[in-house]
């Protein structure tokens, strides 16, 4: 018998399979993971793809169907691996299983990136705001590592509202890591990270800044803390990614209080919205 013949049979791979290379659990409700990047996949920082796992075999048909969900890509367009940031839902069809993946496992990744949270959908401005709640931070983890963000804007403000302080850790560590980002330091110049203002808030646990970002803007407190004028169409551009109520409330504030206009890939304007894709 030849050596090849005794080698274990290769496990059948999933359609569009990618291999998990790293998993980090941030809280009992949040985790992030990295998978290999399909060689031909090109995407713009801020876009999302469909990812998933095979479901159970249906007793009647004898077949299994993939369970797929839209996930924002948290890694930048130039990275070798693809990163994702996810909630864990105990009875969620996908995340109840996805939360148990380990390096070496396979997931399905459909290589068709799309999305509105892209630089192409915004006209130039002085300052870009990224507004996130919970796992809505993911596309901004991509855009904060994208050189275009700093080429296009003088100031970058990232606000992140979460229920508890522990839910801010992924974002905080990512922002801290930017100082040592070789590519950004090389392409944008040392000290690029000084353009960033980080404004984390919590709503259900004590932290340095309490309250919903929407309320902190309405009272003027957020602008005062950040040392900037209230948003205006001449200077400010924004991207929103959070739960549905948050997205709608901010969109309403932008349009009716600050006079900003919603943009799209086909018609760039002042702000763009996407909802966080929950299980
Ligand atoms: P709150 O605790 O006051 O509901 P969730 O986990 O429910 O998606 O919420 C994530 C964070 O977003 C929470 O801090 C929550 O605050 C906040 N949030 C929910 N809805 C809104 C909204 N309409 N405007 C601003 N923040 C919101």
pLDDT of 5 strictly over 60: no
15 or 208: whose pLDDT is higher? 208
Among 62-66, 87-91, 149-153, whose mean pLDDT is lowest?
A: 62-66
Buried-exposed string 184-216: b where 16+ CB fall within 10 A, e elsewhere: beeebeeebbebbbbbbbbeeeebeeebebbeb
Which sequence spans correspond to the domains of the chain?
16-114, 119-275
Nearest residue by C-alpha to atom 16 in ligand 1: 203
Mean pLDDT calculated for residue range 228-256: 97
Q: Quickly name the fold that domain 16-114 has.
A: Elongation Factor Tu (Ef-tu); domain 3 (2.40.30)
- 139 closest CA partner among 19, 247, 252: 247
**CA-to-CA distance for 176 and 170, rounded, in angstroms?**
10
Distance 133 CA to ligand 1 centre (A): 7
- Rounded to the nearest integer, the mean pLDDT of the chain is 93
Q: What is the mean pLDDT of residues 230-259?
A: 97
Per the CB < 8 A criterion, the answer to whether 23 and 98 are in contact is: no
**Best of 203, 257, 276 to mutate for ligand 1, by most ligand atoms within 8 A of CB?**
203
Distance CA 19, CA 145 (A): 23
pLDDT-derived band at 14 (thresholds 50, 70, 90) equals: confident
Which of 8-12, 13-17, 20-24, 55-59 has the highest average model confidence (pLDDT)?
20-24
Joined tokens for residue 263: 């943009």
Least confident segment among 53-62, 133-142, 149-158: 53-62
Residue 243 Cα, ligand 1 centroid: separation in angstroms? 7
Across residues 25-45, what is the average pLDDT?
96
Examine the pLDDT at 2 and tell me if it is beyond 90.
no
200 closest CA partner among 147, 257, 136: 136
- Buried b or exposed e, range 91-117, using 16+ CB within 10 angstroms: ebebbeebbebeeebbbbbbbebebbb
Assigned CATH topology for domain 119-275: Rossmann fold (3.40.50)
Q: Which comes out higher in pLDDT, residue 275 or 21? A: 21
143 CB neighbour count, 10 Å cutoff: 26
Q: Tell me, what's the ipTM?
A: 0.97
Q: Which residue has the higher pLDDT, 146 or 9?
A: 146
Please give all residues whose beta carbon lies within 6 A of any atom in ligand 1, as ranges: 133-134, 161-163, 203-204, 212, 214, 243, 245-246, 249
Would you say 208 and 182 are in contact if contact means Cβ atoms under 8 Å apart?
no
Rounded to the nearest angstrom, the distance between the alpha carbon of 168 and the centre of ligand 1 is 13
The two structure tokens encoding residue 153: 């804007």
HEC string of the chain? CCHHHHCCCCCCCCCCEEEEEEEEECCCCEEEEEEECCCCCCCCCCCEEEEEEEEEECCCCCCEEEEEEEEECCCCCCCCEEEEEEECCCCCCCHHHHCCCCCCCEEEEEEEEECCCCHHHECCCCEEEEEEEHHHHHHHHHHCCCHHHHHHCCEEEEEEEECCHHHHHHHHHHHHHHHHCHHHHHHHCCCHHHHEEEEEEECCCCCCCECCHHHHHHCCHHHHHHCCCCCCCCCEEEEEEECHHHHHHHHHHHHHCCCCCECECCECECEEEEECCCC
Task: Among 135, 162, 212, name the best residue to mutate to test ligand 1's pocket (greatest count of ligand atoms within 8 A of Cβ).
Answer: 212
CB of 200 closer than 8 Å to CB of 209: yes
CA dihedral sign of residues 135, 140, 144, 146: positive
Read off the pLDDT of residues 96-107 as tens digits, 9 standing for 90 and up.
999 999 999 999
Nearest-CA neighbor of 20 among 91, 84, 116? 84
């Amino acid at each position: 018998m030849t050596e090849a013949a005794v080698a274990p049979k290769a496990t059948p791979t999933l359609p569009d399979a990618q291999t998990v290379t790293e998993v980090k659990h941030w809280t009992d409700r949040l985790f992030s993971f990295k998978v290999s990047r399909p060689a031909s996949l090109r995407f713009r920082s801020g876009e999302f793809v469909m990812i998933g796992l095979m479901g159970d075999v249906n007793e009647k048909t004898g077949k299994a169907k993939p369970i797929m969900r839209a996930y924002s890509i948290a890694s930048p367009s130039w990275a070798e691996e693809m990163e994702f940031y996810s909630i864990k839902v105990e009875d969620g069809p996908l995340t109840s299983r996805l939360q148990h993946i380990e390096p070496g496992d396979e997931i399905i990744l459909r290589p068709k990136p799309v999305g509105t949270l892209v630089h192409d959908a915004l006209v130039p401005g002085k300052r870009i705001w990224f507004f996130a709640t919970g796992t809505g931070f993911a596309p901004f983890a991509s855009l904060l590592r994208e050189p275009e963000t700093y080429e296009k804007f003088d100031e970058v403000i990232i606000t992140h509202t979460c229920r508890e302080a522990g839910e801010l850790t992924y974002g905080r560590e990512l922002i801290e890591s930017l100082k040592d980002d070789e590519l950004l330091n090389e392409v944008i110049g040392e000290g690029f990270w000084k353009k960033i203002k980080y404004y984390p808030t919590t709503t259900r646990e004590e932290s340095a800044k309490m309250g919903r970002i929407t309320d902190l803007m309405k009272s003027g407190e957020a602008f005062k803390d950040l040392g900037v004028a209230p948003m205006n169409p001449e200077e400010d551009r924004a991207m929103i990614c959070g739960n549905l109520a948050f997205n709608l409330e901010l969109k309403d504030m932008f349009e009716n209080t600050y006079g900003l206009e919603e943009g799209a890939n086909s018609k760039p304007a002042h702000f763009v919205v996407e909802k966080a894709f929950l299980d």
